[in-house]
Amino acid sequence: MLNKNPHYVVAVALLLITLSVNISMPLFRVYGAEAGMNNTQISLVLATYIMGMLPCYVLLGGLSDKTGRKPIMILSVICALASTTIITLFPDMYALIISRVLQGVALGLSMGCGTAYMSELLKPDHLAATKAANMASLFTSFGFGGGALATTVVLLIHFSVVPVTYYILLAITFIGLLFVLFLPAIPPIGGSLLRLPYFPKGSFPVNLAIAICWAANGVVVAIIPGQLAKYGLTIYGGFCLVLINWSGALLQPFIRHVNPVFAVRTGFLLIPAGFGLVVLGCYINELLVILAGTCIMGVAAYGYSFMGGLNIISNLGGVQKARAVSGYMFYGYIGFGIPAIFLGYLADRFSIINSLLFFEGVIILLSVYLFSTFKRNASSVS
């Protein structure tokens, strides 16, 4: 199997890395409470993931081209293994800071490298690049949601600050590392180490759209568990993350064939509607309404808005397609981390509900602006 289908080993490696990212997410609020942290501080800890990821993703995009794919995949899996080891041995918010940075490094190094590695392993298949991108998207989507889901289910059965999912992930990541060590080494293609993002003309509305989508998701991950904690439902925050990641990911095969401008404009309707349901659910203390809202948000953030925007950016980027996509993801990850910190501050000052209402107003205003912009510029970005 390994000799005939080594690309599956790379895909599983990406799955293990993304599993590590959110394996402890259902316990963030618990660790934060034990450390006496407020919403702002917890949001800052969560954002350390971005601090580890963005420098690698943006500044070291050509590292695997220079050194080869295999060493970078090995390093990425080691970082993921180290991050899970740290939070297992020291289950508190301060260890989580180091763990989150390592998770960010692992993801930042592996995403582009893993996709390129699979593409090279699949050659001479003329659809190698497409198959590699689809596999990377599928396996990482299940990883982002799967870690949170597994821990949430385990905690509902038996609560522990070191759930059994940590140990299981440690074991399977170690086994996965052994498989990665035996992957075939492909000679490096060479090129520049530094590859700064490229923002082609006309890309701003598309980049801003994904930033808004992922900002709403980041707020749900960082802030909503605090509201759920008031009613003893903190652990259920894991289901919010699962629905955000999986609802959109499962629709991606169908959305690929949708007109990209229509897809992005659909996202402008889904995000404020989904986030509005989340706010309503928090206000009336109804978990099912919150979960419905996160599901709708996921359909936009990892479905319509993401796939449509990716298509548009790829076309606008031309020969600089890779760098343009890096710019697109840069906006997305900045959106995921920064607004959550600001909303955490507002939540501490004016209550969670008021901060969420404020953010909903911002989302509506920006969505109306972007919807009208896309209507005017549809012909230029399609």
Is the preceding peptide bond at 260 cis, omega within 30 degrees of 0? no
CATH class of 1-185: mainly alpha
The average pLDDT across 95-121 equals 91
Within 8 A by CB and 6+ apart from 228, the residues are 29, 234, 236, 237, 287, 290
DSSP 286: -
- Mean predicted confidence (pLDDT) in 325-330: 85
pLDDT at 377 over 70: no
Domain parsing of the chain, residue ranges: 1-185, 196-382
Distance, in Å, from the CA atom of 280 to the CA atom of 274, rounded to the nearest integer, reads 10
Q: Does 374 have pLDDT greater than 70?
A: yes
Q: Token match 């989904």: residue?
A: 274
Q: At what angle do helices 352-381 and 305-317 cross, to 10 degrees?
A: 40
Least trusted range by pLDDT, from 54-58, 100-104, 265-269: 54-58
For 75, other C-beta atoms within 10 Å of its C-beta total 19
pLDDT at 29 over 80: yes
Band the pLDDT of 136: cuts 50, 70, 90: confident
The dihedral over CA atoms of 30, 36, 39, 40, expressed in degrees to the nearest 10, equals: -130
pLDDT of residue 376: 54
Q: Dump the DSSP string for 232-250.
A: T-GGGHHHHHHHHHHHHHH
Domains 1-185 and 196-382 share a fold: yes
**Residue 274 in contact with residue 212, Cβ under 8 Å?**
no
- Residue 198: the pLDDT is 83
pLDDT at 380 over 70: no
Q: What pLDDT does 163 receive? A: 96
The type of residue at 251 is: L
Q: In 3D, which of 279, 288, 287, 281 has the Cα closest to residue 356? A: 279
Helix runs in the chain, H state only: 6-22, 28-34, 39-54, 63-67, 69-89, 93-122, 128-157, 164-181, 204-229, 237-255, 260-284, 287-299, 305-317, 321-350, 352-381
pLDDT of residue 62: 76
The 10s digit of each residue's pLDDT in 144-167 is: 889 999 999 999 999 999 999 999
Cβ atoms within 10 Å, residue 36: 8
CB 80 within 8 A of CB 72: no
For 196-382, the fitting CATH number among 3.30.1490.100, 3.65.10.10, 1.10.3720.10, 1.20.1250.20 is: 1.20.1250.20
Share of the chain above pLDDT 90, in %: 44
Q: How far apart are CA 63 and CA 102, in angstroms?
A: 17
Dump pLDDT digits (tens) for 53-62. 888 877 777 7
More confidently predicted of 168 and 186: 168
